[in-house]
Amino acid sequence: MLFDQLPQFLLSGLTSGSIYALVAVGFCIIHNATGMVNFAQGEFVMLGAMIMISLTQDLGLSLPAAFVLSIAGAMLVGLFLERIPLGLARSRHILILVLITVGFSIAVRGAASLFWGKTARALTSFSSEAPLLLGNAVISRQALWILFLTMAAVTLLHVFFHRTPVGQAIRAVADNRRGAVLVGIPVARMVMVSFALSAALGATAGILIAPITGMHYSAGVMLGLKGFAAAILGGYGHVWGAVAGGLLLGVLESLAAGFISSAYKDALAFLILLCVLWVRPSGLFGQRTLKRV
């Protein structure tokens, strides 16, 4: 019976939903700091995983060292995006800036295909590949790493935004950009930090999912779009809403694949996105009038 497999579907959904949540939070951070949508967010997912694979398999670095360097590499690309393509844009119109992120995404994807090739590559699991049995469900140890590190990342992000001067300054910029300028907050620097944080979250998501699904130069596109759908579902600009939206989207996808057909798994994310935009544009967990937090 399919209902006997419900725990399995839920665990699988929470695993993929955790990845969507990390990507969605990255979207929200950029939106809160700049008011724009960064459609290059999915490429940070791909870059984090591909750099990690190269460092561990080609250069022989240990997993912890490669993990840190991979995230740092993605953060540098995020800073480059903010400083050069976006920072030097002659027009500050929001649509122009969004289109620049689209063009940057295409450029990064093309460069990745030339550097790493078009063949998918897999990353070694963080620990033993022997699965664990939880009741009627089987879960891989890598899925546990995904769940644990996602919770840790979101918790640290919450502490950063509410307990550190830089995090509080970023929240001030998100709440009232002009007011932040008047009280002396370096807005441009806070935007740079936001791009670095967003890139780090995307890279973390890519590194975590690569041992399960593998990674190739164009894999970030779909993960980025699903993260965007999760952010809309939760309430765009609301960090905790993005986390809830990602987890909910992952569970709904898994249930649809299990009870209906896996052929509709990817389409479901965009169907949900359309429904939310029609019925409740502010998202399930957002306010009618969005307030960035």
Per-residue pLDDT tens for 180-234?
A: 988 899 999 999 999 999 999 999 999 999 999 999 999 999 999 999 999 999 8
Confidence at 292, pLDDT banded by 50, 70, 90: very low
Return d(Cα 205, Cα 127) in angstroms, integer: 17
Q: Residue 267: is its pLDDT beyond 50?
A: yes
When the pLDDT of each residue in the chain is averaged and rounded to a whole number, the result is 90
Residue 133, helix vs strand vs coil: strand
CA angle 236, 242, 246 (to 5 degrees): 125
Percent pLDDT > 70 in the chain is: 96
In single-letter form, the type of residue at position 183 comes to V
Q: How many residues does the chain have?
A: 293
Phi/psi of residue 217, nearest 5 degrees? -60, -25
Q: Residue 288: is its pLDDT beyond 60?
A: no
Q: Residue 282: is its pLDDT beyond 90?
A: no
pLDDT digits (tens, 9 = 90+) for 51-62: 999 999 999 999
Mean pLDDT (whole number) for 60-69: 95
Q: Residue 293: is its pLDDT beyond 60?
A: no
Those residues with Cβ within 8 angstroms of residue 163's Cβ, 6 or more apart along the chain or in another chain: none
Residue 60, helix vs strand vs coil: coil
Helices of type H across 140-262? 141-163, 165-175, 177-182, 187-213, 219-234, 239-259
Q: Which of 187-191, 214-218, 241-245, 275-279 has the lowest mean pLDDT?
A: 275-279
Q: Residue 69: is its pLDDT beyond 80?
A: yes
* Closest CA relative to residue 196, chosen from 244, 232, 229, 157: 157
Q: Which two tokens stand for residue 176?
A: 């009232």
Confidence at 3, pLDDT banded by 50, 70, 90: low
Kindly report the three-state secondary structure assignment for every residue of 233-290: HHCCCCHHHHHHHHHHHHHHHHHHHHHCCHHHHHHHHHHHHHHHHHHCCCCCCCCCCC
The CATH code belonging to domain 2-279 is 1.10.3470
> What pLDDT is recorded for position 290?
46
Return d(Cα 91, Cα 97) in angstroms, integer: 8
